[in-house]
Amino acid sequence: MLEHKNLYIDGAWRRPSGDEVIEVVNPATEQVIATVPAATTKDVDAAVAAARAALPAWSRTPPADRRVFLDRLHRGLVEHADEIAATITAEMGAPRQTSGRVQAGLPIAVAESYARLLQTYEFQEHIGTTLVVKEPVGVVAAITPWNYPLHQIVAKVAAALAAGCTVVLKPSEVTPLDAYLLTEIIDAIGLPAGVFNLVPGTGAVAGEALVAHPDVDMVSFTGSTRAGKRIGELAAATVKKVALELGGKSANVILPDADLESAVRGGVANVLFNSGQTCTAWTRMLVHRDSYERAVQLAREAAETTVVGDPSDERTQVGPLASAIQRDRVRAYIAEGIEQGARLVTGGIEPPAGLLAGYYVRPTVFADVTEDMTIAQEEIFGPVIVLIPYADEDESLRIANNSLYGLSGAVFSASQERALAFARRLDTGMVHINGAPLDLLAPFGGYKQSGNGRELGVHGLEEFLQPKTLQLPAPAAA
């Protein structure tokens, strides 16, 4: 069993002030595979102090020199890609094919994108007679989730470092091992002491201490809307900047002229990816009444032919959920859907055949779902998809927008122009047209209770910058 005993503070590995540890469980076997220290408030204070002390020099480091470190970070991630993928499969159950391509691949691509961005981004501009300079926000607390653990870390850390901020990272206690791999890479590339610090721990202790800390200038958080609200409350006391990427209940609107089979199969695959643990998953499938029963049958076939099993098996498409808590939560939603009268097309609360150990949930499809049902309104965060019929385009739009969330969504149509026109009326931060993939250079974030702020690309960099206006006198008349 792997045993991490140290935190990373001020450029060095150091023992925590307390003796509490966090156990890391392999969700496919339910066995403890590692332990990491649980940082205390005293450890958080030390990490923030190190980040604050390092800020003046790092914030003045020229962008070209910061790019050198991001290039080194990118190369380190590439060199350790196989180890990263294997670690994430072990700690959160992502199938091996997913871990290699996405769980390791995304952070590699994001780190490279910020290194390249520093070659072209202008940190100042003239507006009239004013010089506007874009300065780093300061000390950033990055608090990250377990579903895409290293991707979410790198999306915050790489952008913050590129902007000239210093960082204190608190990864999810469910998946801290990939954060240790990243920290080992950072330690090896020669980043100045204090610029990056790692304090694994619980949200209630390390997380809240970071958010409330008066020397933290910004909190960048990805996780549940419930936790995001708590962060907003704590951060308000010191009026620090908060960027929140929270939950979603995204609608997949299949317009009547769409290729039904392609749209349904693509929609089911989207929801089942990463065992349904994706905030942007298109979990509400809206289909015209004339095609509805055919869509239900197609969704059933797609779910039942998806391979569920051991995430270390290359054939597996859906692995376990990340924890027992998450598995039980998803099963409770399935039970509630049945109780409220939704038609269970396939799946259910019983574990998949032959998988009695591990935190597995069967791919589940519900039909005849009304928009007021719990499974149509609340984020389930598991391999569960609901199908809702609509009578016309206006009704589909109303149903799609009837949500507390507004993170992502999809529109399928034979006409891209029609799909774009519909997408413009959706109250959501991102819309995928006819299954288009995620663009890592485009802003990522949502409306309503899906949060505020944006990640990735230029917009992600600018979250960690603040403008200063230098008012210059008008030039003398000739």
Instruction: Pick the closest to residue 169 from 212, 139, 138 (CA basis).
Output: 139
Indicate the helix (H) or strand (E) that contains 434: none
Dist. CA 93–CA 89, nearest whole Å? 5
Residues assigned a catalytic role: 245, 279
Which contacts (CB < 8 Å, 24+ apart) does range 344-350 have? 345/296, 345/299, 345/300, 345/303, 345/387, 346/300, 346/303, 346/304, 347/303, 347/383, 347/384
Instruction: Pick the closest to residue 145 from 312, 437, 350, 379 (CA basis).
Output: 379
Angle in degrees, 0-180, between the axes of helices 63-79 and 177-188, rounded to the nearest 10: 130
**Six-digit token pair at 282?**
């298109």
| Dihedral sign, Cα of residue 304, residue 310, residue 311, residue 316 | negative
Would you call 269 exposed, middle or buried from its count of C-beta atoms within 10 A (0-12, 13-18, 19+)? middle
Instruction: Pick the closest to residue 383 from 267, 294, 293 (CA basis).
Output: 267
Instruction: Pick the closest to residue 167 from 296, 50, 288, 33 (CA basis).
Output: 50
User: Is residue 374 within 8 Å of residue 337, measured between CB atoms?
Assistant: yes
Q: Residue type at 7? A: L
Indicate the helix (H) or strand (E) that contains 65: helix 63-79
DSSP 8-class letter at 424: T
The separation between CA 63 and the C-alpha centre of its own chain, rounded to angstroms, equals: 26
User: Is residue 318 within 8 Å of residue 275, measured between CB atoms?
Assistant: yes
What is the CB neighbour count within 10 angstroms for residue 25?
20
User: Is residue 13 within 8 Å of residue 193, measured between CB atoms?
Assistant: no
Dist. CA 252–CA 194, nearest whole Å? 44
Question: Phi-psi bin for 236: left (phi > 0), alpha (psi -120 to 50), beta?
Answer: alpha
Q: What is the DSSP string of 265-301?
A: HHHHHHHHGGGG--TT---EEEEEGGGHHHHHHHHHH
